[in-house]
């Protein structure tokens, strides 16, 4: 237990010390973010803050590992950590280059695919078991499904965090809540490598958040959002009994905010006949700002939503060993999907005028009231 507290403290201190240095570096090399019509900030801001989080995590891991109790981490666990470090390093380099030179979307995607491929093919990290809905046992899946499924998961989650990085402290805070959730779930399962990596990341994020919360002194840039997305993809996949999906919904719940925002962004762009990768101002944080919430209140509201998703994931994990696990997951999915759709229609996340579910419910209620009046 002491190694986890020590790792958290080391990463926190390193992040607090490194972030101001990275801020100076960003200004010196021109890794800056200029205001435009899509962005909320009104002055030139340094980015590349993700370097501080990454170095705090990587250095913290290397510093505390020699003090880990003998037998705490086996060869399998060390392989997972090496995969995390190698893949994360490549992702951070891609993000840092983008922070400075603004790489094209195709180049960034190619780099992400390479990083995911190295993790999957080079280190053998993959989703190799699948929980069949309402089944009793975990079912093995073939490599031709496992490999592309794992790569898709890693690349998808990596970009989902990048999409919500639109307000001071938003992406870092939401990532921190998700990683904290993973740490709790890993502790419940006794999966030591995930606990250690999660607390190190959490320390790095919290140290950076001191400088990133509104009003921010530095942005984490793609070096941060891509690294945190990659880390969440890896940890949310690995935290469930050594690279399995205990329940399909659990990892989705952990990163429910960025995934749902990404889903609605894709639907919104399809409805409005715009390219899927075209940027817009229709994300969750934009909609909340349009409703009149301040910068800080908007971020805190989204933190609350992320915390709710995390709590649901933990509840799901508690039931995971019981016979009712799949039924609990099914009920959670139905309630959350319904709630997400209603919320999206209320704030105009897809379209400001179309509210199909709300209109259907209104007609149903009016019809029920009319029927009741005739009956009386």
Residues annotated in a binding site: 162, 222
Helix 143-163, helix 105-117: angle, nearest 10: 140
How far apart CA 228 and CA 231 sit, in angstroms, is 5
For 137-160, the DSSP string reads SEEE--HHHHHHHHHHHHHHHHHH
Instruction: Tell me what percent of the chain is helix, strand and coil, each rounded to the nearest 5.
Output: 70, 5, 25
Note whether 54 and 227 are within 8 A (CB): yes
Q: What single DSSP character describes residue 66?
A: G
Burial class (CB in 10 A: 0-12, 13-18, 19+), 263: middle
Number of alpha helices (DSSP H) and beta strands (DSSP E) in the chain: 15, 4
- Binding site as annotated, residues for Mg(2+): 162, 222
Q: Three-class SS string for 228-249?
A: HHHHHHHHHHHCCCCCCCCCCH
For residue 32, give the 3-state DSSP assignment.
strand
Looking only at the bridges linking them, the beta strands covering 138-140 and 129-131 are antiparallel
Nearest one of 58, 39, 92, 57 to 220, comparing CA atoms: 92
Long-range pairs of 106-114 with CB within 8 A, sequence gap ≥ 24: 108/222, 108/226, 109/155, 112/154, 112/155, 112/158, 112/159, 112/226, 112/230, 113/151, 113/155, 114/90
CA 126-127-128 angle, 5° bins: 100
How far apart CA 158 and CA 273 sit, in angstroms, is 25
Positive or negative, the Cα torsion across 58, 59, 63, 66?
positive
How far apart CA 279 and CA 108 sit, in angstroms, is 16
């Amino acid at each position: 237990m002491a190694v986890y507290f020590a790792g958290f403290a080391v990463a926190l201190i390193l992040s607090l010390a490194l972030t101001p240095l990275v801020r100076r570096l960003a200004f010196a090399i021109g890794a800056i973010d200029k205001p435009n019509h899509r962005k909320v900030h009104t002055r030139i801001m340094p980015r590349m803050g993700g370097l501080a989080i990454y170095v705090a995590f990587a250095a913290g891991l290397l510093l505390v590992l020699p003090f880990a109790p003998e037998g705490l981490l086996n060869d399998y666990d060390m392989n997972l950590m090496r995969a995390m470090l190698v893949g994360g390093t490549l992702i951070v380099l891609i993000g840092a280059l983008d922070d400075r030179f603004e790489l094209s979307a195709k180049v960034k995607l190619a780099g992400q695919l390479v990083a995911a491929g190295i993790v999957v093919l080079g280190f053998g990290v993959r989703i190799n078991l699948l929980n069949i809905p309402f089944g009793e046992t975990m079912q093995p899946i073939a490599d031709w499904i496992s490999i592309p499924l794992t790569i898709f998961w890693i690349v998808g989650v990596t970009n989902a965090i990048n999409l919500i990085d639109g307000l001071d402290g938003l992406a870092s805070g939401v990532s921190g809540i998700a990683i904290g959730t993973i740490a709790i779930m890993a502790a419940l399962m006794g999966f030591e490598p995930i606990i250690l990596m999660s607390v190190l990341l959490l320390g790095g994020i919290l140290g950076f958040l001191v400088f990133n919360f509104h009003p921010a002194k530095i942005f984490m840039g793609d070096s941060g959002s891509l690294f945190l997305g990659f880390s969440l993809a890896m940890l949310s996949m690995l935290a469930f009994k050594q690279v399995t999906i205990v329940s399909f919904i659990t990892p989705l719940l952990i990163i429910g905010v960025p995934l749902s925002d990404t889903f609605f962004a894709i639907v919104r762009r399809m409805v409005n006949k715009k390219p899927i990768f075209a940027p817009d101002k229709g994300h969750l944080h934009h909609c909340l700002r349009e409703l009149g919430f301040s910068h800080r209140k908007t971020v805190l509201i989204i933190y609350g939503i992320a915390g709710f998703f995390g709590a649901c994931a933990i509840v799901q994990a508690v039931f995971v060993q019981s016979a009712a696990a799949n039924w609990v997951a099914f009920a959670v999915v139905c309630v959350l999907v319904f709630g997400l759709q209603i919320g999206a229609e209320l704030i105009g996340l897809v379209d400001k005028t179309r509210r199909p579910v709300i209109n259907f419910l209104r007609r149903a209620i009016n019809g029920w009231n009319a029927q009741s009046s005739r009956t009386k």
